[in-house]
Chains A and B, each alone.
Chain A
């Protein structure tokens, strides 16, 4: 399958690979996908008390498109507010990376990872306030 240059570029030079402290109250962790399906994405966001995403890290088990999709969204979310990040859709990711139809699924995973990470952060915050 021919990948776009952007996929290959992100795949070869992935941005923001790594791990944030999942016990930090300002870090939200989203883990989506399943090993049996061939892709698992973990996205971690460090979110300030004012709701701005200060840092993002990912680790992904999956094909080139899955790795490129996660790398791309870590770049996109940094500096955005939580509300802004929530508006990122899989279509934006798929369009930016020119994903072939069979790989659209990877962009869905990336969108889900953002939502899951933010939800985790919100849960932590709620339990802290409770």
Chain B
């Protein structure tokens, strides 16, 4: 067994040797540009890309014509959400998503909200100021409204109904187990809703959403459904037809492929249209221009094929390892909580809070194991995880969480080592924790007046 042990497979996965083998020729002699239609180098590259396209499509039950290669899932999320909002702006501008989505979705939504607000402010100012001959500052608005005998709120409301290129966004809460409530989702849908963006499996807690039911709700109402499927694809069966998914983001490096390549699935029947984010030579049916990253795309294809072949067996193996890890820890330590549904969860995923132990301190003491802290303590913000907070996890518990991500190359021996290490270090840190001592003495920590800082 080699140290350190890698158990952060949500963040990224190592390249599978079979994937590397498939890629090598395209980094050496077969270097052609897949868009070169007039010679053998180009043809070979194109054929390799088309094979990979089929392999990726096969993994998610799509047709190869529905796969658009991108630089990764962040780009896919951006392209799907911005592309739909731009293309369907005359139909509506409302998006529904979850508070627990990946930042690639949340920050894209936030930008669209900002765009809309800026346009509205601009329109309002122009209207109130009788167009642009004069500079209008926000402070002048009430004065101008009075001067032109306009009701500022009413004007604003009228403009608010017009397409702006931005979007209105509903960020739905999730239930305590991390899953969306279908009733709440249905209730949030309006005639102006054009897109629902909900992930397949959560990167932080591993919880799998009821994607097929979400797809059904959207289809019934003619709303497009985008699914950030990055974490779950290749680990849990995912089928765009069975699940009524219209757009899906996937990434190679989360399934033992190379970094820097991903795909967006864009449905053809019924046809989904998106405005491109990148202008250029019209590659990828005009949806994503740019010379294709042939070697990486080949690797992505190989990774998808391996994932599809291995899925049933590998999924069962990861489940056994995960349960061994979970029960091994929980049998020996008290006051340990699993965050998110245990039932609806990716097989290799475990997010747990160790009460009265701070997550980063624990990570530091188990430095022979690469995991990540549920709390974003290592980032500049020091804020506990927004995902755990959205589940209703108390702040102190959110600071005490660790994410274990088991993958294809983890072994039983490694899991047993990690159990011993974690149990030992949690005990040591609890011996050092004033909170654990107080809790053991029966002091209610909530009754104490803490010094906020």
A82 within 8 A of B: no
The B-contacting residues of A in range 11-39, CB under 8 angstroms, are 11-12, 14, 17, 19, 31-39
Whether A105 pairs with B356 at a CB distance below 8 angstroms is: no
> In this complex, what residue of A is CB-closest to B394?
A36
Task: For A40, give its contact among B361, B394, B431, B450 (CB under 8 Å).
Answer: B450
Whether A102 pairs with B382 at a CB distance below 8 angstroms is: yes
Question: For the complex, what is the distance from the CA of A101 to the CA of B270, rounded to whole Å?
Answer: 53
Whether B453 pairs with A63 at a CB distance below 8 angstroms is: no
Question: For the complex, what is the distance from the CA of A102 to the CA of B382, rounded to whole Å?
Answer: 8
Whether A38 pairs with B358 at a CB distance below 8 angstroms is: yes
Tell me the total A-B contact number using a CB cutoff of 8 A.
Answer: 88
Task: For A61, give its contact among B364, B365, B377, B435 (CB under 8 Å).
Answer: B435
Task: For B453, give its contact among A3, A19, A59, A108 (CB under 8 Å).
Answer: A108
Is the interface on chain A under 10, 10 to 19, 20 to 34, or 35 or more residues? Answer: 20 to 34
Task: Tell me which residues across on chain B come within 8 A of A40, comparing CB atoms.
Answer: 434-435, 450
Task: For B358, give its contact among A34, A39, A112 (CB under 8 Å).
Answer: A39
Whether B432 pairs with A59 at a CB distance below 8 angstroms is: yes
For the residues of A in contact with B, the DSSP-based class is mixed
Is the interface on chain B under 10, 10 to 19, 20 to 34, or 35 or more residues? Answer: 20 to 34
B395 within 8 A of A: yes
The B-contacting residues of A in range 68-120, CB under 8 angstroms, are 102, 105, 108-109, 112
Whether A37 pairs with B358 at a CB distance below 8 angstroms is: no
B3 within 8 A of A: no
A42 within 8 A of B: yes
B82 within 8 A of A: no
* CB pairs A–B below 8 angstroms (30 shown): A1-B378, A3-B364, A12-B365, A17-B432, A19-B437, A32-B453, A33-B450, A33-B453, A34-B452, A35-B396, A35-B450, A36-B394, A36-B399, A37-B382, A37-B453, A38-B358, A38-B382, A59-B432, A59-B433, A59-B434, A60-B433, A62-B358, A63-B358, A63-B360, A63-B361, A63-B364, A64-B360, A66-B361, A67-B432, A102-B382
